[in-house]
Structure 1
């Protein structure tokens, strides 16, 4: 019983401190993703565009410190030129995730405005993937472009960022997300991944999502 009461009391204390010092804010955000793959089999990977959007809450724990959990829809993936050593062929994969970062935010400005920094872990849950090849000006979608059997459905990552709180509600941010977990499972590929990477040897590549995010957010509540 004590093991249950102590964490509940600690959580209540944190929330109470948040209300007493800087309040609780809820917000929405959206932005632009610039994504690619990193890792030992990422040679030839180029950046591709995507978007991110979602909700967040900000719990103040001190005048310049807060904890910010978020739930975001985020498009990731990569683009590869010269697919299968064909100079006019490009392979693209778009991976859609639900990202759940929990960030420690440090505010360098006064009254919650000005420069801020954020850092923390993130769990991502795959909801869809879409692969296609493009030859010249013609785009041909693969017959198995939504096959996710070879992919890790849950991915762990780290997040680091910097931003500026313009007003008590409006903010701009630049964030980097790097995955610890590989995009694909180890083993023989059942889709385009093994053909696109690792010399086309038929095995899933050892790659990780690597994403820069440019975000605009607006918060409600708090001071």
Structure 2
């Protein structure tokens, strides 16, 4: 009988803990630093690197239990890539810029839907997050800069400045880890990758050397800070 009562008490305690945060709705703001590049392959050039940018926006978090929650975000996010030495095939309209630096700044609204697990008590401590993401293209600026020139150089040449050549809605994934410092403040590190192509018709202009070379995807490392309102985190 004692064992039965003890088991019932333990079960009741676990059930109470599991539902302590169930149904709690929180909202917040977040922002951070992006390092982005193109993943995949094709006729891009040598020394492909990461381009800095930022992300900022809002989030809503709905508690499923004391340790789990569903989080939806809306973030303005800068993506793109840096290529130190462009190297296009002969005949491509961008071949005259071979040897120069290529840079792109792509603007998106990202909407990740994340399943989040927090390992500490009362929603604090280490957390993990994973889920799908939709990305809505807003803008595209791509330019070349001679080697050795600094940002804002008068020798920069903008070759594309419209979102029309971007895939309008991309689909990808998000995976991350972080730490909830207090009932509101937290830090996170995540990686976002796209299943969808960046461009509709290829990395270049769609001329013969690049036809069929359209397997480029956005890949972004993100360091973020957030703050939650509305109930314990």
Q: TM-score, normalised by structure 1?
A: 0.82
Q: CA RMSD in A?
A: 2.4
Q: Match for 1:58 among 58, 61, 68? A: 61
The answer to whether structure 1 residue 157 and structure 2 residue 168 are counterparts is no
Q: What CA distance in whole angstroms lies between the structure 1 residues aligned with 2:19 and 2:59? A: 15
Deviation track 1:146-168 (CA, whole Å, cap 9, x = no partner) reads 13332201000000000000001
Q: Match for 2:192 among 154, 163, 177? A: 177
Structure 2 match to 1:115: 126
Structure 1 match to 2:204: 194
Q: What CA distance in whole angstroms lies between the structure 1 residues aligned with 2:140 and 2:178? A: 30
Q: TM-score, normalised by structure 2?
A: 0.78
Q: Looking at CA atoms only, which structure, 1 or 2, has the larger radius of gyration?
A: 2
Structure 1 match to 2:9: none
Deviation track 1:32-77 (CA, whole Å, cap 9, x = no partner) reads 0000000132663210000000000110011100000000000001
User: Which ranges of structure 1 fall in alignment gaps of 5 or more residues?
Assistant: 1-16
Q: What CA distance in whole angstroms lies between the structure 2 residues aligned with 1:133 and 1:35? A: 18
Aligned 8 A contact 2:75 2:109 in 1 = yes
The answer to whether structure 1 residue 214 and structure 2 residue 223 are counterparts is yes
Q: What CA distance in whole angstroms lies between the structure 2 residues aligned with 1:218 and 1:50? A: 21
Aligned residues: 199
Runs of 4+ in 1 over 4 A off after TM superposition: 17-20, 85-88
Aligned 8 A contact 2:38 2:218 in 1 = yes
> 1:18 Cα deviation (Å)?
7.9
